Amino acid sequence: MHGIWAHRQALAVRELGVEVRVLALRRPVPPLRTVRALGRFPPDPAPLRSWLASQPTLWRTEELDGIPITPVPLVAPPRPWSYGSWAWWIAPTLGRALRALRARWPFDLVHAHNVVPTAHATVLSELWRSGVPVVASTHGPDVIKVPERGPLARRALKTALTRCDLVLANSRWAAERCRALAGLPLATRVVHLGADLPDPHELPPKHPRLTIVTVAHLQARKRHETVLQALFALRDRLRVDYLVIGDGEERPRLERLVAELGLGDRVRFLGQLPHSLALAEMRRCHAFVMPSVEEPFGVAYVEAMAAGLPVIASAGEGGPEDIATAGGGILLVPPGDHEATASAILRALGPEREQLGRAARETVRANFTWRRCGERTVAAYRELLEGPPATTERENRGSAAVDGVR
């Protein structure tokens, strides 16, 4: 569920002729949130099952869609107290893995997903001094939440950003955020992530009743509550069902809110689903609604639009603003405004629905396919390897790792 976009970006560049190897950080001990879940009453075994499922591949190289993946053990203190220092814990094992990979496969550059801790861990390793160019991708939480964790975390971010050769941001907002955090001139490129464009004739039939959907982890910032309040406001004007795909800490509170609002016959929580099944369920719906905040991009938006679903998102957020600038099919509402969200739902499900759906699909076709993402990523690689240096001083060059690329 987490990081599938990084895998799809790796597949996209491979399809354009780039050879890819992956180093994937894996935890040999359960994270603190897994232990806490077991300590609840009643205990929640789902996080432990998820962690245990990763253990058979913890110590051996495997393949995913033909890309070799080498696990790298990650041992660090609990995240809430020490995230800014994680790179110091990761750097030794990551450095050894990079040296071993380079010895048998002399890659030309390294692409790190997330500035902290991955890019930071590598600039602390000796690879940084060897002159290997580095591209670091920021995906949002690393430049939104990490700075809130204190001066150590902010210093880690600045170190990683200023020592990388090139930073790929998933929206214009994210690029500006990176430059502000670095406090120095920074080589950045905006590379939007993508979606598959399904054949319209192969889409599943729609639900018989008008249905909206959200595909997201159940976190406060995703604003499921705003959608529920909007449905309550529409209760006497339009019969709308709501499908919630995803799981998380907000689920008990949201289920209580559904009961309090009397929406139990209209809202279904499907929980966490495999990506392919989540897509299939989403495509049966009539509109996608996720008025979230702190959303630098949001792959779920373009996945829904690719299937011809009108999308409702929050104004002022990096991803939705970039998508709306690129084309139609997405309606922006003020964050937290359930009345505006209700009006947007009425519009998305009204006479304009098919027109909005066609515009949404065209926006993705022209701007947000995985092919387009791959082309932009490879162009950034070529610029770094063949063009002028992306930074003016050698000490600002960095080294980061998840994808070693040759």
Q: pLDDT tens across 111-122, in order? A: 999 999 999 998
Residue 322 has pLDDT above 90, yes or no: yes
Residue 43 has pLDDT above 80, yes or no: no
Residue 401 has pLDDT above 50, yes or no: no
Which fold does the domain 4-194+371-405 belong to in CATH?
A: Rossmann fold (3.40.50)
Percent above pLDDT 70 for the chain: 89
pLDDT at 394: 33
Q: Give the span between the Cα atoms of 144 and 116, in whole angstroms.
A: 11
pLDDT at 215: 97
Residue 170 has pLDDT above 70, yes or no: yes
- Cβ atoms of residues 402 and 134 within 8 Å: no
SS3 175: helix
pLDDT tens-digit series, residues 287-314: 999 999 999 999 999 999 999 999 999 9
pLDDT tens-digit series, residues 204-259: 999 999 999 999 999 999 999 999 999 999 999 999 999 999 998 899 999 999 99
Residue 181 has pLDDT above 60, yes or no: yes
Count CB atoms within 10 A of the CB of residue 302: 30
Q: What are phi and psi of 269, to 5 degrees?
A: -100, 115
Block residue for tokens 């009453």: 41
Cis peptide before 80 (omega within 30 of 0): no
Query: What is the pTM assigned to this prediction?
Result: 0.88
C-alpha dihedral, 266 to 271 to 275 to 280, nearest 10°:
-30
Count CB atoms within 10 A of the CB of residue 63: 9
Q: Domain 200-367: state its class.
A: alpha beta
Count CB atoms within 10 A of the CB of residue 201: 5
Amino acid at position 135, single letter: V
Confidence of residue 160 (pLDDT cuts 50, 70, 90): very high
pLDDT at 124: 86
Where does CATH 3.40.50.2000 sit in the chain?
Answer: 4-194+371-405, 200-367
Q: Give the span between the Cα atoms of 242 and 266, in whole angstroms.
A: 6
Instruction: Kindly tell me the burial class for residue 365, based on how many C-beta atoms sit within 10 Å of its own C-beta (0-12, 13-18, 19 or more).
Output: middle
